[in-house]
């Protein structure tokens, strides 16, 4: 099992580190990809180094895409490579997990039509305008899309994400 996390400056540390380490604890090979290969800084000043530039991502190598919260999704969604990667994951039936503002990338990829999801309340109207069905729940699983409202809901999100990767059909859902 391999997971890809799209990250940029302004990532929300809890929504990156907690799922990242939970995946690693489960033996998942995790890659951090970013538009620009430089040291990345989170909302609270934590720094990380990405593993791979977005332009080098081969989506066939991964089973799960994670989109953390923060202001990073706003930066990521402006990159065609990120939108293409996200669209490819959704269209190929692989797992996509998005936290808080992470669904902004899904909006730009045009992949929310008819999907039920949760997100940060600040983007709920954007989700609705993009054809998504917003619900104010801690986490929601709709097909291959697992969404989380925010940092307070990360324990439930991580439990559900781990359950997905442990299921026999975890690599493809469609």
Q: Which element (helix H / strand E) includes 155?
A: helix 154-166
38 labelled catalytic: no
Q: How many other C-beta atoms lie within 10 A of the C-beta of residue 137?
A: 14
Give strand pairing partners of 23: none
What is the distance between the alpha carbons of residues 102 and 46, in angstroms, rounded to a whole number?
19
Strand pairing partners for 29? Answer: 2
- CA separation for the pair 111, 87 (Å, rounded): 7
**Is residue 65 a contact partner of residue 94, using CB atoms and an 8 Å limit?**
yes
- Identified catalytic residue from 22, 75, 94, 101: 101
State the Cα–Cα distance between residues 133 and 135, nearest whole angstrom.
7
| Catalytic sites, residue numbers | 101
């Amino acid at each position: 099992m391999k997971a890809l996390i799209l990250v940029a400056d302004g990532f929300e540390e809890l929504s990156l580190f907690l799922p990242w380490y939970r995946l690693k604890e489960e033996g998942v090979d995790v890659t951090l990809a970013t538009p620009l290969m430089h040291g990345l800084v989170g909302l609270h000043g934590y720094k990380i180094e990405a593993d791979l530039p977005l332009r080098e991502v081969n989506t066939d190598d991964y089973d799960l895409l994670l989109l953390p919260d923060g202001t990073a999704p706003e930066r990521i969604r402006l990159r065609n490579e990120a939108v293409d990667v996200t669209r490819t994951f959704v269209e190929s039936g692989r797992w996509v997990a998005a936290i808080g503002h992470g669904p902004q990338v899904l909006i730009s990829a045009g992949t929310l039509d008819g999907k039920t999801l949760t997100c940060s309340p600040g983007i709920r109207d954007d989700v609705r305008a993009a054809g998504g069905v917003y619900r104010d729940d801690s986490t929601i699983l709709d097909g291959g899309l697992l969404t989380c409202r925010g940092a307070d809901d990360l324990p439930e999100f991580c439990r559900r994400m781990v359950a997905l990767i442990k299921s026999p059909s975890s690599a493809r859902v469609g």
